[in-house]
Amino acid sequence: MPSQDQTVYPVTETSKRSTRVNAERYSEMYRLSVEEPDAFWRQEAARLDWMTPFTQVEDTSWDKDDLHIRWFADGTLNASANCIDRHLPERANDTAIIWEGDDPAASSKITYGELHDHVCRLANGLKSLGVKKGDRVTIYMPMIPEAAYAMLACARIGAVHSVVFGGFSPEALAGRINDCASDIVITADEGMRGGRATPLKANVDRAMQHAPGVRQVIVVKRTGGKMKWDPARDVWYHDLIARQPATCPPEPMNAEDPLFILYTSGSTGQPKGVLHTTGGYLVWAAMTHEYVFDYKPGEIYWCTADVGWVTGHTYILYGPLANGATTLMFEGIPTWPGPDRFWQVVDKHQVNIFYTAPTAIRALMREGDGPVQGTSRASLRLLGSVGEPINPEAWTWYHRVVGDGRCPIVDTWWQTETGGVMISPLPGATDLKPGSATKPVFGIMPALVSNEGEPLPDTGAAEGNLIIQRSWPGQARTIYGDHQRFIDTYFATYPGAYFTGDGARRDEDGYWWITGRVDDVLNVSGHRLGTAEIESALVAHTDVAEAAVVGYPHDIKGQGIYCYVTLNAGIIPTEESAQMLRQWVRQEIGPIATPDLVQFAPGLPKTRSGKIMRRILRKIAENEFGNLGDTSTLADPSVVEDLIENRKNR
Ligand code: WT7
C-alpha cells in the first residue's frame, strides 16, 4: 500500500507548451462532462466514424430490477473500420504496428495498408469456416502481429473475440472456451518468451479433451516446433488465408453489439466473462488514449502489457489504432537477454510514450541504475503505470532514473470492467503526487462509502470503499451468460452505484489514492486472481481436505499468494507435499497462480457457524499476529496458536 509522499511534481513546462489539455481546460471539460453529459458525449463520440449516426446518447439504469447500460444505441459502426480503413486515405504507408520479437534481432513494421490486407484476409478466412456475426472466437496467442489481426478480423465480421492469456493452463483455457460456447480457437504452434518456447498448440490439444464443442483450430506457425495435428480439426493460418481476397467489407454493428468477452477473476466462483460492446467501448478507448497519453500523430507509443489482458485490448490495440497511432507490440520479457531490454527497445524504436506495470518497475529497480543508464532514452516524453498501486519508491525511481527526471508519470487506475482509464493525471493538466492516481477522467464521478454503506463527505480528506456514481461509455454491459451475477457483483452492494471492489482515500486536494482490493481478489504482479479459484484448484487435489488462500505483501509482486491447507486424514505434510501442491495449482490455473507459501494446518479458524475467519488468516500471513482483533467467536481458539507457531512469512 503506498504511503503518502508529500512531494508534488508540477506539470512540466514542456508538457504545458505541447498539450491540448492544460489545467484550466481540464476543469472546463470535466465540468461540461458531468453537467452537460449529453453535449459532451455527442462531441466525443464524433471522433469515430459511424455508419449510421446515433441520435440517442445515453440510456442507462443501475436499478437492480431493471439494470441496463446503453450508449449511442441507435448508431452503427465497425471497430475494425475505425481502427484501420478510415486512416487509409492519409496513413496507408504509416506504421500501425511495430513488432519487437523476443529475439532482439527480430522486429518488423506493419503499415496501416498492410494491416488492412492481413485483417481482411483472415476475416474472409474465418467466414470460409462458417464464422458468423455474434459467434464467439477464442484467441490463445503469443504476442505476435497475428494476435492483433485475429482480434480485428473478428471485429470486422462481427464475431465476438475472447482472448485467453497464453500463460493460462489447458484447464483454464477449456473453462473459458466452454463458458462462452466458442467453437473456433486461434493459436500458434509455440510462443517465445525469454528465449524459451511455450507449447501453445499442445495446450490447446489438451484443452480439447474438455472442450468438445470446438470445430476448428487455426494455427499460426511461429517457431516450427513439433506438435500433434488433427487434420479434421486443425488448419494452418497461412493455408487458410492463402487464397483469400485482401478486401472484406466491415459488418455494420449496432453500438450495443458485443465486441469482446474477457475473462477476469472475481471474489467468488470461477472467472467471469466481462462483456464489452462496440460503440461506447471504442469511444472510451480512443478518448482516454488520446487525453491520458496526450498522443500526437507520428509518436511511437509502447504499452508493455499482453493482449491477453484488458490493458492489451484497450491500450495496445483499440485505443491507439482508433487514433491512427503507431503502437509497439513486444513479444518478450523485461529481463531478457538482459535487464536493459526495455530501454534498448525504447532506443531502437525511438519510443516516446512508455506504459508498464509497477511490478516490472520494481523488478528492474532491483537491478540498479546501471542497465538503465547505459541507454539513451532521449526519445521518451511520458511514462505510464497501470495494474496496481505504485509505491512512491518505485514511482520516484521510474521518474528519476528511467525518465531522467524529465518525463511526467501517468498512474492510471481502471479495471477490466471499466474498459479504459478512469482516474489518472493528464500530463499537461495535473500536478503529480507519487503513488496517487490523482483525478477522475471526463465523465467519471468517483465517491467513497463506508463499509456500512454510508456515503462519506464528497469534499475534504476521506477514506473508504470506492464507488462510481454514474455510467460512462466504456463500462462493461454484462457478464456473459450471467446478467444476474453482473448485477449482484457490481450494483447490489451500494444501490444506485457501481462498486469497484477497491478501497481508496481522497486527500485534502481532491487527489485519489487507491489502497487496493477490499474483496477476496488478489493482485499478483498486476494479475488479478480470485482466492476462491485458487482454493478450488487446491481442494481438487485428492490429498486436500480444505484450503484457504489470502494475499500478503510481496516486495516485487505487490501481493504474494499464501495458502493454508488441511490435508486429508492419514496424509503426512512434508516439504515435498507443499512443493507438489504449488506445482498442482500452477498446472490447474497457470504459472501466475503459483502459490508463494503453503502452510499445512490441522484446522482453519472458523466461527461456530463454520465460516472461515479470513481476517485472522490475513493477519498471520502478513506476520502481524500481535493484534488479531476479536477472536471470541472462534469455534476452537487453539487452531490459531498452531497457525501462528507454524507461520511461513517471517
Ligand atoms: C484492479 C483491476 C487496469 C488494467 C489492468 C488491471 C488494480 C489497476 C491500478 C492503479 C492502483 C490499480 C485495482 C483494480 N489497479 N490499476 N493505477 N493503482 N490499483 O485490470 O485485472 O481488471 O484489475 O487492479 O485493484 O481493481 P484488472
Q: Where are the domains of the chain?
A: 13-506, 525-646
C-alpha distances in angstroms, 484 versus 67, 177, 569? 9, 21, 39
Distance 216 CA to ligand 1 centre (A): 34
**What's the CA gap between 503 and 395, in Å, rounded?**
20
Residue whose CA is at the smallest distance from ligand 1 atom 16: 387
Distance 150 CA to ligand 1 centre (A): 26
Q: Is 329 helix (H, G, I), strand (E, B) or coil?
A: strand
C-alpha distances in angstroms, 12 versus 18, 19, 290, 397? 10, 11, 19, 18
Distance 622 CA to ligand 1 centre (A): 21
Paired with 261 in beta bridges are 162, 275
Does residue 274 come out as left (phi exceeding 0), alpha (psi in the -120 to 50 range) or beta?
beta
pLDDT at 5: 57
Does residue 70 come out as left (phi exceeding 0), alpha (psi in the -120 to 50 range) or beta?
beta
395 known ligand binder: no
517 known ligand binder: yes
Say if residues 260 and 276 touch (Cβ distance below 8 Å).
Answer: yes
**What's the CA gap between 413 and 464, in Å, rounded?**
16
Identify the CA nearest to 417 among candidates 284, 275, 269.
Answer: 275
Atom of ligand 1 nearest to the CA of 414: 3
C-alpha distances in angstroms, 501 versus 243, 447, 514, 522, 528? 49, 13, 11, 11, 12
pLDDT at 1: 41
Distance 48 CA to ligand 1 centre (A): 27
Which parts of 175-323 are beta strand (E)? 184-188, 191-193, 196-198, 216-220, 234-236, 253-254, 258-264, 272-277, 300-303
CA 538 to chain centre: 25
Give the tens place of pLDDT for each residue, 576-633. Answer: 999 999 999 999 999 999 999 999 999 999 999 889 999 999 999 999 998 888 888 8
**Element (DSSP H or E) covering residue 628:** none
Topology given in CATH for the domain delimited by 525-646: GMP Synthetase; Chain A, domain 3 (3.30.300)
Identify the CA nearest to 71 among candidates 81, 80, 61, 83.
Answer: 61
- Residues having CB closer than 6 A to ligand 1 are 264, 309-311, 385-389, 411-416, 437, 500-502, 514, 516-517, 523, 528
440 known ligand binder: no
Which parts of 512-610 are beta strand (E)? 512-517, 521-524, 527-530, 544-554, 558-567, 597-600
Distance 533 CA to ligand 1 centre (A): 19
Atom of ligand 1 nearest to the CA of 305: 5
411 known ligand binder: yes
**What's the CA gap between 261 and 477, in Å, rounded?**
10
Distance 413 CA to ligand 1 centre (A): 6
What is the grid cell recorded at 264? 477476469
387 known ligand binder: yes
194 known ligand binder: yes
586 known ligand binder: yes
Q: What are phi and psi of 177, to 5 degrees?
A: -65, -45
pLDDT at 609: 87
CA atoms within 13 A on the CB side of 467: 25
70 known ligand binder: no
**Element (DSSP H or E) covering residue 89:** helix 88-91
CATH class of 13-506: alpha beta
Residue whose CA is at the smallest distance from ligand 1 atom 20: 415
Distance 414 CA to ligand 1 centre (A): 5
Give the tens place of pLDDT for each residue, 304-356. Answer: 999 999 999 999 999 999 999 999 999 999 999 999 999 999 999 999 999 99
What is the best residue among 304, 414, 424, 498 to mutate for testing ligand 1's pocket, by most ligand atoms within 8 Å of CB? 414
Atom of ligand 1 nearest to the CA of 516: 25
What is the best residue among 385, 444, 505, 514 to mutate for testing ligand 1's pocket, by most ligand atoms within 8 Å of CB? 514
Atom of ligand 1 nearest to the CA of 521: 25
Distance 386 CA to ligand 1 centre (A): 7
pLDDT at 630: 84
Count of beta carbons in the 10 Å neighbourhood of residue 112: 23
Give the tens place of pLDDT for each residue, 211-250. Answer: 999 999 999 999 999 999 999 999 999 999 999 999 999 9
195 known ligand binder: yes
Say if residues 77 and 85 touch (Cβ distance below 8 Å).
Answer: no
Distance 500 CA to ligand 1 centre (A): 10
Say if residues 171 and 536 touch (Cβ distance below 8 Å).
Answer: no
Distance 100 CA to ligand 1 centre (A): 26
pLDDT at 6: 78
pTM of the prediction? 0.96
What is the best residue among 304, 390, 415 to mutate for testing ligand 1's pocket, by most ligand atoms within 8 Å of CB? 415
Q: Using 50 as the pLDDT threshold, list the residues of the chain that sit under it.
A: 1-2
**Which residue type occupies 493?**
T
**What's the CA gap between 354 and 304, in Å, rounded?**
8
Residue whose CA is at the smallest distance from ligand 1 atom 10: 413
**What's the CA gap between 256 and 155, in Å, rounded?**
13
